[in-house]
């Protein structure tokens, strides 16, 4: 089974701000690993390094033994698809110009799925996977609720058939009433698809319920979960 993610001593600075200060972690295939920490402690930056949107000053990220930070060109594009990100803010993570169907079709097009019929079929499957009706494909993001948008964000990430899914506070911008729904969608997916999940949040209870294991982060470093809970 694929999806072993190893983060090895990653450091990220923005000018004088040390955002990530030597983080190492190990995500086993099929595992849900929770990562909690206060706002500003470097969670998003770490997530961006893992998916390759941010280049660390030092440290490496391995997916099934391959160093992602060293990849370039076509190989980089190919491997990077296997690590997907669910963004914190579902609003800005969907193009306002595209319909939901077009948004979900794009990863299929990039991956080279030629047949239109196949793509339409796959879009319907993806919508179903996150518990949304196929009729949503013709809508634009503005016509959707926050919870629906975040499910589209999840579906888009899954369209690339990732081995690792990094979720950056996937429900923190949503109303309390729909948080549980969206969390359940994520948990069901782990059982249905072989995907490892790094679940980032500052809501400790939610992460503890959902995760196999929880790490705590503070000021750019990892500590034990106990410490983090005590400080609360």
Ligand X SMILES: Nc1ncnc2c1ncn2[C@@H]1O[C@H](COP(=O)(O)OP(=O)(O)O)[C@@H](O)[C@H]1O
Question: Residue 41 touches which of Mg ion, other proteins, ligand X, none (CB < 5 to 8 A by kind)?
Answer: ligand X
Per CB under 8 A, the segment of 13-21, 103-111, 118-126, 207-215 that binds other proteins is: 103-111
**φ, ψ for residue 11, nearest 5 deg:** -125, 130
Interaction of residue 19 with ligand X, rule CB under 6 A: yes
Mention every residue, 6+ apart, whose C-beta is less than 8 A from residue 187. 32, 210
| Whether 101 contacts 108, CB under 8 Å | no
Question: E strand or H helix at 178, and its extent?
Answer: helix 176-192
Nearest of 199, 165, 173, 180 to residue 91 by alpha carbon: 173
Interaction of residue 84 with ligand X, rule CB under 6 A: no
Within residues 163-222, the interface with other proteins by CB under 8 A covers 175
| Whether 149 contacts 94, CB under 8 Å | yes
Per CB under 6 A, the segment of 12-20, 106-114, 178-186, 187-195 that binds ligand X is: 12-20
Annotate each residue in 35-54 with x if it binds Mg ion (CB under 5 A) or - if it does not, as one string: ---------x----------
CA-to-CA distance for 35 and 33, rounded, in angstroms? Answer: 7
Question: Residue 135 touches which of ligand X, other proteins, Mg ion, none (CB < 5 to 8 A by kind)?
Answer: none
User: Could you tell me the smallest distance in angstroms from the CB atom of residue 180 to other proteins?
Assistant: 15
Per CB under 8 A, the segment of 2-10, 120-128, 157-165, 182-190 that binds other proteins is: 157-165
Bridge partners of residue 18, in order along the sequence: 13
Work out which of 45, 84, 93, 103 binds ligand X, going by CB under 6 A.
Answer: 45
Bridge partners of residue 12, in order along the sequence: 20
Question: Residue 3 touches which of ligand X, Mg ion, other proteins, none (CB < 5 to 8 A by kind)?
Answer: none
Interaction of residue 93 with Mg ion, rule CB under 5 A: no
Nearest of 167, 161, 196, 192 to residue 182 by alpha carbon: 167
Nearest of 172, 170, 145, 146 to residue 158 by alpha carbon: 170
Interaction of residue 55 with ligand X, rule CB under 6 A: no
User: Using CB under 6 A as the criterion, which residues of the chain lie in contact with ligand X when the complex forms?
Assistant: 14, 17, 19, 37, 39-45
User: Using CB under 5 A as the criterion, which residues of the chain lie in contact with Mg ion when the complex forms?
Assistant: 44
């Amino acid at each position: 089974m694929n999806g072993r993610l190893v983060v090895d001593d990653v450091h990220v600075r923005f000018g004088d701000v040390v955002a990530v200060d030597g983080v190492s972690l190990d995500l086993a295939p099929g595992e849900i690993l929770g990562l909690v920490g206060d706002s500003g402690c470097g969670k998003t930056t770490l997530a961006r390094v893992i998916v390759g949107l941010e280049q660390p000053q030092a440290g490496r990220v391995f997916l099934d033994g391959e160093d992602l930070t060293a990849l370039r060109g076509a190989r980089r594009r190919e491997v990077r698809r296997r690590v997907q990100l669910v963004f914190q803010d579902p609003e800005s993570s969907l193009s306002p110009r595209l319909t939901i169907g077009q948004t979900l079709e794009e990863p299929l097009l990039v991956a080279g799925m030629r047949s239109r019929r196949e793509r339409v079929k796959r879009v319907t499957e993806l919508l179903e996977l996150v518990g949304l009706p196929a009729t949503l494909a013709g809508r634009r993001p503005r016509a959707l609720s926050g919870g629906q948008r975040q499910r589209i964000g999840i579906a888009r990430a899954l369209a690339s058939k990732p081995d690792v899914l990094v979720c950056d506070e996937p429900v923190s911008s949503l109303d309390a009433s729909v948080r549980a729904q969206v969390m359940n969608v994520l948990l069901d997916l782990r059982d249905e698809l072989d995907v490892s999940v790094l679940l980032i949040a500052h809501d400790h209870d939610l992460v503890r319920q959902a995760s196999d294991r929880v790490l705590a982060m503070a000021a750019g470093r990892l500590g034990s979960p106990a410490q983090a809970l005590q400080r609360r």
